[in-house]
Amino acid sequence: MNSHITNLYPVPTPGATDQALAVGNSVVQLTDGGAFNSLTKYIVLDVQVADVRVTYDGSAPTSTNGHILFAGRSYTWARKTAEVAKFIEDTTTDAVIHASEFTT
């Protein structure tokens, strides 16, 4: 059996800085502050403080629309997924999405 394994460990995107996105009762996106670095392939993010709702289909997340991302969990997304993701708080408690960019 042959196996080709590459990039076991993520490599941070040179020049990219972490984002801390405040998520409240208005829809926000990670790219509201500008585009991701052109070298970025993956976004590693975690949800802090409270659960959030997210949509990927262009619709606005609401208290009844969207996937729930739970506080305290981490997620790894392709850059394109992170670019279209829209967030809103799931309850009345504001949350924070902390995101980092990686090339591989």
Per-residue model confidence as pLDDT tens for the chain (104 residues): 556 555 567 899 999 999 999 999 999 999 887 889 999 999 999 999 999 999 999 999 999 999 999 999 999 999 999 999 999 999 999 999 999 999 98
Distance CA 66, CA 49 (A): 19
Identify the pLDDT of residue 9: 78
Distance CA 98, CA 49 (A): 11
Q: What angle do CA 41, 42, 45 make, to 5 degrees?
A: 155
Distance CA 100, CA 94 (A): 20
- Structural domains in the chain, CATH included, are 19-102 (2.60.120.770)
